[in-house]
Amino acid sequence: MTTNETMIGRSDVNDVDAILAVTNTDVDAVVHAVRTDADAIFTWDYERSRPALSKLYEKAKTSQWNADDLPWDTEVDQAAVVEANRIQNEGIFGSMDLTGTPVEGWTEDDWTRFHMETQNWTLSQFMHGEQGALICTAQIVETVPWIDAKYYAATQVMDEARHVEVFARYLDEKLSGHYPINAHLKLLLDDIIADNRWDMTYLGMQIMVEGLALASFGFIHQLTTEPLLKQLLRYVMSDEARHVAFGVISLQEFYAQLSAAEIRERQEFAFEAAVRMRDRFLTQEVWERMGVDVKEAVQFTLNAPDRPIFQGMLFSKIVPNCKKLGLLDAADGWLRHRFEDLGVIQFEDWADTTEEYGSLDAVAEDRAAV
Ligand SMILES: [Fe+2]
Ligand SMILES: [Fe+2]
């Protein structure tokens, strides 16, 4: 599997040493600064000329919800929850012979602890990613030149604040520990924020990061038996579906007037983001906390026969949305070939998010039921 001529700086996408060379060096710092020199754009054209964005904005105004209204008094026994979830779904190691692996000899208690740590890690990364979305959408309010997009992005800023709030509260009140931001996710968010072209903020955040989040929330929503988390994710997903649709609608219009060279740059940016997101799911920080050799554990994770199925699912929203934007097949199918290498091309004809955001509106559904 080679990925020459890409920007990720390694010839083999599965090079474990290169993956582990990316580390988070300021885990103890309270703040993290990213320099950006994007122009803040005023527009004097107040005409509401983009009906698809206008419709999304009206929907966002009526679909706001209050985090305090979730059933926070639900008792959560995390060990019991991860055990119950494991019975339904053993994860990527379920069908593997563990002889000679770093987890050979793990007791039931070790596995329970591992699944609890994985949950702490996963929800921590969701929380940090949500803060990335908060910052990116605030940036879009400033940088996008269209009034309809500024209006919509302003509603998304509020949505993202609520998402950071619910994940932070769930971690504090219901789980058993936090993790700092994963090094690969941090690098990706830094790259998105530092890029001063407004459409790159959209591509990195709305299409790639939020597309992956939407698939990932959907997966956990289906799997979890814990009612508070289920409800929380259902509401977050109904917002996220709008956010991804916002990205697709805006970029479709903008990409129509870009040159072939400019589109090719967007393809590379999308691929680099996809690799960083794949790398973060190797959960190197969890292995470290479990006290096993991280390099061996990451290699073992990469080799798990069921990993492509699980991690592939995370790209089930990204690939059809990239196709809708024309990014798969431009430049002789450059991104199509890269997605073939990553093993995720099979999702290209799944529903794109502009088609499905209405059906994911859980807030409207619950209000109609009342
Ligand atoms: Fe969000
Ligand atoms: Fe979002």
Q: How far is CA 246 from CA 145, 163, 315, in A?
A: 15, 17, 18
Is 316 exposed, middle or buried (CB count within 10 Å of its CB: 0-12, 13-18, 19+)? buried
Instruction: Say how far apart CA 321 and CA 316 lie, in whole Å.
Output: 9
Ligand nearest to the CA of 233: 1
What DSSP character marks residue 103? T
pTM assigned to the model:
0.94
Ligand nearest to the CA of 129: 1
**Is residue 8 very low, low, confident or very high in pLDDT (cuts 50, 70, 90)?**
low
**Is residue 9 very low, low, confident or very high in pLDDT (cuts 50, 70, 90)?**
low
Is 328 exposed, middle or buried (CB count within 10 Å of its CB: 0-12, 13-18, 19+)? buried
Distance 210 CA to ligand 2 centre (A): 6
Ligand nearest to the CA of 167: 1
Residue range 211-242, pLDDT digits in tens: 999 999 999 999 999 999 999 999 999 999 99
Distance 137 CA to ligand 2 centre (A): 9
pLDDT computed for residue 93 by the predictor: 79
Distance 206 CA to ligand 1 centre (A): 10
198 pLDDT exceeds 80? yes
In sequence order, what DSSP letters do the residues of 296-347 get, joined into one string?
HHHHHHHH-TTHHHHHHHTTTTHHHHHHHTTTTTHHHHHHHHHHHHHT-GGG
Distance 296 CA to ligand 2 centre (A): 34
Q: Let me know: does 205 contact 188? Beta carbons within 8 Å.
A: no
pLDDT computed for residue 202 by the predictor: 97
Distance 364 CA to ligand 2 centre (A): 18
Residue range 46-73, pLDDT digits in tens: 999 999 999 999 999 999 999 999 999 9
Distance 165 CA to ligand 1 centre (A): 10
Distance 240 CA to ligand 1 centre (A): 6
What is the average pLDDT score of the chain? 92
Ligand nearest to the CA of 205: 2
Name all domains of the chain by residue range, CATH numbers in brackets.
79-91+102-369 (1.10.620)
Residue range 329-368, pLDDT digits in tens: 999 999 999 999 888 999 999 988 787 787 888 888 899 8
Ligand nearest to the CA of 245: 2
Ligand nearest to the CA of 166: 1
Reduce the DSSP state of residue 268 to 3 states and report it: helix
Residue range 150-160, pLDDT digits in tens: 999 999 999 99
Residue range 249-295, pLDDT digits in tens: 999 999 999 999 999 999 999 999 999 888 888 889 999 999 999 99
Higher-confidence position of 312 and 322: 322
pLDDT computed for residue 68 by the predictor: 97
Distance 130 CA to ligand 1 centre (A): 5
Ligand nearest to the CA of 244: 2
Residues 6 or more apart whose CB falls under 8 angstroms from that of 105 comprise none
Distance 215 CA to ligand 1 centre (A): 12
Is 300 exposed, middle or buried (CB count within 10 Å of its CB: 0-12, 13-18, 19+)? buried
What DSSP character marks residue 176? S
Reduce the DSSP state of residue 49 to 3 states and report it: coil
Distance 236 CA to ligand 1 centre (A): 7
Ligand nearest to the CA of 165: 1
Distance 249 CA to ligand 1 centre (A): 18
Q: Let me know: does 207 contact 270? Beta carbons within 8 Å.
A: yes
Distance 266 CA to ligand 1 centre (A): 23
Instruction: Say how far apart CA 100 and CA 20 lie, in whole Å.
Output: 22
pLDDT computed for residue 2 by the predictor: 39
Distance 225 CA to ligand 1 centre (A): 22
What DSSP character marks residue 100? T
Higher-confidence position of 167 and 92: 167
**Is residue 1 very low, low, confident or very high in pLDDT (cuts 50, 70, 90)?**
very low
Residue range 163-183, pLDDT digits in tens: 999 999 999 999 999 999 999
Ligand nearest to the CA of 209: 2
Distance 126 CA to ligand 2 centre (A): 11
pLDDT computed for residue 7 by the predictor: 52
Instruction: Say how far apart CA 211 and CA 324 lie, in whole Å.
Output: 13
Distance 261 CA to ligand 1 centre (A): 31
Q: Work out the percent of the chain whose per-residue pLDDT is above 90.
A: 73
